[in-house]
Amino acid sequence: MADPAITVEGVRKKYGGKGGKVALDGLDLQVTRGTVHGVLGPNGAGKTTLVRILSTLLRPDAGRVEVAGRDVLTHAREVRFRIGLLGQHAALDEELGGRQNLEMFGRLYHLGTRHARVRADELLERFGLAGTGRKPVKQYSGGMRRRLDLAASLISEPEVLFLDEPTTGLDPRGRAEVWDSVRSLVGGGTTVLLTTQYLEEADQLADRIAVVDGGRVIADGTADQLKSLTGADRIDVTLRDADQLGAAVALLPVPEDAVTVDADRRLLSAPVTDRMTALSSVVRALEETGIEAEDIALRRPTLDEVFLHLTGDERASDPRVKEAV
Amino acid sequence: MSTYALTDSWTMTRRELAHWARQPVQLLVGLVFPVMLLLMFGYLVGGGRGVTGDYLDYLVPGMLALTMAFGLEGTLLAVTQDLNKGVIDRFRSMPMTNGAVLVGRSIADMLQSALGLAVLIGVAYALGWRAHGSPGGFLGAVGLLLFFRFAMLWIGIHLAMVAGKPELVTAVQILVWPVGFLSNAFATPETMPGWLGTVVEWNPMSHTATAVRDLFGAPGGAPGHTWAAIVWPLALLAVFFPLAVRRFGRLSK
Ligand SMILES: Nc1ncnc2c1ncn2[C@@H]1O[C@H](COP(=O)(O)OP(=O)(O)OP(=O)(O)O)[C@@H](O)[C@H]1O
Ligand SMILES: [Mg+2]
């Protein structure tokens, strides 16, 4: 990969000294300039730790980290001039208003008083916060706060932008707004590293997706590549009667433990290798046993399934986990 | 230190001033509290054990020094709250001068303390208290008080970073009280049991109070005590300033 915007090599981080919790366990990652790289992982995978190390807030115990071509340990200050950070939690002065916040950050980026003011107004306008006046941030709604936080991370027109779960807690409209902003930034050449719990978000925004679990990257590729990682296409069978789910599992042309059961939606799902053979054998078996199906469909695996497949098979076969994710 | 050290520090000072403008009541309470203590000890408790001459003359310098000592609590609380706020992460991810946050805090706290001194002296004046020394002596006394406050400021910053969590701050705060009261602010050490008198005499705050009394021409002052009121805060600063700065640098890693 020529001239990456972010290089992470063998990074380790342990919290709390000896016997502490290992958050990153030899993580490697490369992000190409001008692309969006999604980092997908369950709670506690190490996403926030990674973002904090990349944004110079935390020192790695071992490994090499370069952002915008500079080492984060030896050239932290130069890195800071080139990055923007939207942390998992709001990083704003809650006592002050939106404009006061942005002006203050602008001055700290050394934009100069006048330019800082112009930039603040510009960003307030762009994120639909122009009417907030002097209202202190602590009286903002969650969505307003998130948008102001995002605006603050863009003040210096960063080369590399880190977004740690940017849309968690936003309503669909707020989410769409953030997505639009990210897309327009990338059009302008910004590199974005974005962590998320929403697979749909990674699918929508990211050029590449790194799946992180237990402090390591366990898969890295485009959404399509990841989908083909789980191999098979899938067959979904929706039954009329949930009581028959147990009996129907045996009808699918795969070992029983490969079948996902979603009782609420009366849905069975299983990977298949030969699409047409599987379809006709299932239809035939249903007819023979007299189990009534509402719908039968063949489809590619969703990212959810890829994700669950990669982060632990035992959980993928547990239908309750699917609901929780 | 970059060429932006000054602008960054000024930006952070403006932030503190903007907080005042947002919460004037908080500032006001901070100014009224020492006045309350002055009235309480001057009239309710009164007496002034072992003090010859006018008790108000003895008490006012003590209260001024005590106000400076209690300023430590304000610093402690403000720094702890600041460090636990999300905004500190944004500051740290920006190319601002490391330590500008602390400089902003120092300037704001010193301004508030200067204001506190002015209010307390004004109230004392209204009660009939007068400084008997020279105008130069008066200014010197104010200078010594603020210098003592400056030492308290850096102890406060350091303790805030050591304590870290707001829960622990309460514990540290409670310790400020005995240190404030185990001084010669209200009564002369000669009237106290031997060991207590010794502790009180050693208390850096007592030295500042004694020097200020001398400069105000009040009872309880000792000529030549100005040195002690310079050396003690200086010694405290020599310990806590580098500790605090180092600790702050380490936090950002
Ligand atoms: N300050 C800390 N002290 C001790 N352990 C920590 C600290 N921060 C994180 N950890 C631990 O390190 C691991 C990784 O945490 P991290 O916050 O990076 O995960 P995450 O992927 O961001 O999770 P989430 O999706 O919940 O935000 C977790 O096991 C967590 O408990
Ligand atoms: Mg996180």
What does the H/E/C string look like for A109-137?
CCCCHHHHHHHHHHHHHHCCCHHHCCCEH
- Ordered alpha helix ranges (H), chain A: 47-54, 76-82, 98-108, 113-126, 142-154, 172-187, 199-205, 223-229, 245-249, 275-289, 303-311, 313-316, 319-324
Chain B residue numbers with beta carbons less than 8 Å from the beta carbon of A81 are 95
User: How confident is residue B140, by pLDDT bands cut at 50, 70 and 90?
Assistant: very high
Split at pLDDT 50, 70, 90, the class of B46 is: low
At residue B252, the pLDDT reads 55
pLDDT of residue B50: 57
The ipTM is: 0.84
Contact list, B8 vs chain A (CB under 8 Å): 108
Q: What is the mean pLDDT of each run of 10 residues along chain A (325 residues)?
A: 85 86 94 94 92 94 95 93 94 95 96 94 92 92 90 94 90 85 83 89 91 92 81 84 85 82 88 84 88 86 76 49 36
CA distances from B111 to B6, B16, B20, B34, B105 (A): 17, 11, 11, 16, 10
Mean pLDDT across B31-54: 75
* B51 pLDDT higher than 70: no
Q: Average pLDDT, stretch B119-136? A: 90
- Ligand 1: residue whose CA is nearest its atom 12: A23
Instruction: Please tell me the distance from the alpha carbon of residue B64 to that of residue B121, in angstroms, as a whole number.
Output: 8
Radius of gyration of chain A (CA): 23
Mutation target among B16, B17, B87, B97 for the A interface, most CBs of A within 10 A: B87
DSSP assignments along B124-151, one per residue: HHHHT----S-HHHHHHHHHHHHHHHHH
What is the per-residue pLDDT across B233-243, written as a single tens digit (0 to 9) for each? 999 999 999 99
The mean per-residue pLDDT over the stretch B2-19 comes to: 90
Q: How far is B71 from chain A (nearest CA, A)?
A: 22
Q: Is B48 exposed, middle or buried (0-12, 13-18, 19+ CB in 10 A)?
A: buried
pLDDT score, position B49: 58
A49 Cα: distance to centroid of ligand 2 (angstroms): 7
Percent helix, strand, coil in chain B, to 5, is 80, 0, 20
Cβ of A44 below 6 Å from ligand 1: yes
**pLDDT score of B93:** 93
In percent, the amount of chain B with pLDDT more than 70 equals 94
With beta carbons under 8 A apart, name residues in chain B contacting A107.
Answer: 7, 11
pLDDT attached to residue B251: 65
How many CB atoms lie under 10 A from the CB of residue A159?
19
Mean pLDDT score, B82-93: 90
The minimum CA-CA distance between A299 and chain B, rounded to whole Å, is 44
Ligand nearest to the CA of A311: 1
Beta bridge partners of A238: A267, A295
Report phi then psi at A28, rounded to 5.
-120, 140
Distance from CA of A109 to the nearest CA of B (A): 6
Q: Quote the number of domains for chain B.
A: 1
pLDDT, tens digit, for every residue of B56-70?
888 899 999 999 999
Q: What is the dihedral of CA A161, A164, A165, A168, to 10 degrees?
A: -100
User: How many whole angstroms from its chain centre is CA B187?
Assistant: 20
A30 or B226, which is more confident: A30
Question: A261, A319 in Cβ contact below 8 A?
Answer: yes
The DSSP output letter for B40 is: I
Ramachandran region of residue B48, left (φ > 0), alpha (ψ -120 to 50) or beta? left
What is the reported pLDDT for A171? 85
Higher pLDDT, B219 or A11: A11
Q: Can you tell me which atom of ligand 1 is nearest the CA of A52?
A: 18
Which residues on chain B are in Cβ contact (under 8 Å) with A90? 86
**Count of C-beta atoms within a 10 Å radius of residue A156:** 21
Q: Do B86 and A91 touch (CB under 8 A)?
A: yes
Give the whole-angstrom CA distance, residue B171 versus residue B165.
11
Compute chain B's Rg from CA coordinates.
19
How many Å lie between the alpha carbon of B238 and the closest alpha carbon of chain A? 29
With a 6 Å cutoff on the Cβ, whether A88 touches ligand 1 is yes
Q: What whole-number distance in Å separates Cα of residue B39 and Cα of residue B31?
A: 13
Mutate which: A108, A109, A153, vs B, most B CBs within 10 A: A108
Nearest CA to ligand 1 atom 18: A46
- CA–CA dist B52, B57 (Å, integer): 10
CA neighbor of A53 nearest in space, from A10, A94, A93? A10
Angle at B242 between CA A72 and CA B173, to 5 degrees: 105
The side-by-side arrangement of strands in the sheet containing A216-221 is A83-86, A160-164, A191-196, A36-40, A208-213, A216-221
Report d(CA A225, CA A231) in Å as an integer. 10
Which helix or strand (DSSP H or E) is residue B89 part of? helix B87-92
Segment B138-141 long-range contacts (CB within 8 Å, at least 24 positions apart): B138/B215, B138/B216, B140/B215, B140/B226, B141/B61, B141/B211, B141/B212, B141/B215, B141/B216
Please give the pLDDT value at position A231: 66
**At a CB cut-off of 8 Å and minimum separation 6, what does B56 contact?**
B42, B124, B127, B128, B129
pLDDT digits over B182-203, tens only?
Answer: 888 888 877 777 788 888 888 8
- Examine the pLDDT at B115 and tell me if it is beyond 90: yes
Ligand 1 centroid–CA A127 distance in Å is 30
Q: Are A120 and A106 in contact (CB under 8 A)?
A: yes
| Inter-CA distances, B250 with B75, B167, B245, Å | 20, 22, 9
For residue B3, give the chain A residue with the closest CA. Answer: A110
Domain with B116, as residue range(s), is: 3-249
Selected residue of B3, B26, B93, B98 to mutate for chain A interface (largest A Cβ count, 10 A): B93
